[in-house]
């Protein structure tokens, strides 16, 4: 259906088109190289990613969920956590965040969002702590940094590890200039095709300054082995495909321009959308938000969505069901989470990618302003 819309929500083919010559060259190089698992392309992208994020180490993984799972598995193998330990998570996030925690036998403890940033309300973390809390899994949702000095001080005071789910915020910077991916003990990246730096298939990575953690993640993602046929952990198979690594290396130089374009679209929306029925996302042009999504809040979401579809504007919902309301989470014990539920009922994402132009964004803003409520 989105093909027929004048302003599709996201056309990945169009978004990748300007970089296609470099991407094709990179892919051909891998196909002809004889290295189809690991090898120089993967190692090269890992070095580039570490340099970009500002960490000592980057380890490629099969996808973003595995990057998170491998961080927690490594923490358990290294004795930093035990199954049954608690991890603070935002109640408003993509379900992968929660699945990574439960998959490792850890217990996610949800913290409600702020309604302005839609990120975890860090002032509520302290009251969620118990003697079993070991980590804060912070999610830079929609591309907005969720980290501050207060969170760091709290983590230091209670000896908690900060782990970043950086699937949505590659390139964002905290106020002191550090990039996401370098703010905690370890960070998970996803290069799912729709992310700001997207592969052409599944791909992910872990960044960290901790050499032991990096090595454990690398081993765990390779059958628990660093040396062939010598398995130190009961690992899994989750490695960064060299084809995807080469494509990511080809696209990485374009990431700053991609993020700048998203920021330009956000500026247009901020300036031109004005509707009594809609709350726009908290605006920031200081680099702490890379606009992975531009998410409106409205109590008439489904009507607005139909209206926009009728007028040629594609939309999406990130996310329509809060993780704790998913059927698979029925066994998750937690208190009431009314804010996560309200957010799930009211969010609507509008087009923001390199396939949307600044003039498209102006037109989309006009259409939104004509919504009769």
Binding residues for ligand PLP, rule: CB under 6 A, are 63-65, 93-94, 96-97, 139, 165, 167-168, 190, 192, 202, 204
Cβ nearer to ligand PLP, comparing 7 with 189 = 189
Q: Where are the beta strands (DSSP E) in 147-212?
A: 161-165, 186-190, 204-208
Give least dist CB 64 to ligand PLP, A.
2
For residues 53, 57, 62, 63, the Cα torsion angle rounded to the nearest 10 degrees is -30
* Residue 209 CB burial class (10 angstroms; 0-12, 13-18, ≥19): middle
Give least dist CB 277 to ligand PLP, A.
27
Could you give the CA distance from residue 313 to residue 327 in angstroms, rounded to a whole number? Answer: 31
Could you give the CA distance from residue 81 to residue 79 in angstroms, rounded to a whole number? Answer: 5
Give least dist CB 66 to ligand PLP, A.
7
Give least dist CB 97 to ligand PLP, A.
5
Cβ nearer to ligand PLP, comparing 192 with 307 = 192
Q: Identify whether 65 is preceded by a cis peptide bond (ω within 30 of 0).
A: no
Cβ nearer to ligand PLP, comparing 19 with 168 = 168
Give least dist CB 93 to ligand PLP, A.
6
Give least dist CB 221 to ligand PLP, A.
13
Give the residue among 338, 247, 277 at the shortest CA–CA distance from 42: 247
> Got the DSSP string for 89-112?
EESSS-HHHHHHHHHTT-EEEEEP
Could you give the CA distance from residue 260 to residue 282 in angstroms, rounded to a whole number? Answer: 17
Cβ nearer to ligand PLP, comparing 165 with 241 = 165
Cβ nearer to ligand PLP, comparing 117 with 168 = 168
Cβ nearer to ligand PLP, comparing 42 with 93 = 93
């Amino acid at each position: 259906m989105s093909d027929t819309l004048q302003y599709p929500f996201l056309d990945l083919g169009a978004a990748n088109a300007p970089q296609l010559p470099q991407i094709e060259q990179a892919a051909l190089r891998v196909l002809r190289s004889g290295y189809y698992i690991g090898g120089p392309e993967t190692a090269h992208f890992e070095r580039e990613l570490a340099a970009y994020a500002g960490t000592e180490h980057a380890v490629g993984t099969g996808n973003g969920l595995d990057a998170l799972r491998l961080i927690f598995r490594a923490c358990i193998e290294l004795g930093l956590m035990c199954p049954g330990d608690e991890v603070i998570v935002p109640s408003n996030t993509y379900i992968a965040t929660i699945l990574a925690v439960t998959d490792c036998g850890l217990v996610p403890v949800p913290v409600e969002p702020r309604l302005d940033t839609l990120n975890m309300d860090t002032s509520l973390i302290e009251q969620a702590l118990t003697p079993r809390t070991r980590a804060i899994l912070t999610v830079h949702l929609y591309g907005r940094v969720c980290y501050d000095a207060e969170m760091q001080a709290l983590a230091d005071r209670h000896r908690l590890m900060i782990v970043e789910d950086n699937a949505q915020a590659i390139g964002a910077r905290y106020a002191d200039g550090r990039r996401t991916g370098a703010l905690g003990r370890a960070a998970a990246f996803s290069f799912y095709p729709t992310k700001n730096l997207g592969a052409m298939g599944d791909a992910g990575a872990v960044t960290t300054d901790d050499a032991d953690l990096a090595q454990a993640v690398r081993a765990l993602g390779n059958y628990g082995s660093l040396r062939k046929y010598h398995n130190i952990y009961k690992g899994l198979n989750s490695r960064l495909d060299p084809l995807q690594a080469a494509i990511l290396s080809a696209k990485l130089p374009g990431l700053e321009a991609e993020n700048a374009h998203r920021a330009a679209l956000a500026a247009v929306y901020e300036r031109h959308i004005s509707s009594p029925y809609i709350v726009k996302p908290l605006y920031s042009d200081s680099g702490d938000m890379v606009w992975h999504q531009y998410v409106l809040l409205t109590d008439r979401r489904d009507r607005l969505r139909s209206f926009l579809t009728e007028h040629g504007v594609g939309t999406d919902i990130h996310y329509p069901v809060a993780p704790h309301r998913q059927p698979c989470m029925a066994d998750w014990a937690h208190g009431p989470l009314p804010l996560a539920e309200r957010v799930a009922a009211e969010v609507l994402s509008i087009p923001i990618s390199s396939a949307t132009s600044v003039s498209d964004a102006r037109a989309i803003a006009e259409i939104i302003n004509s919504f009769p409520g």
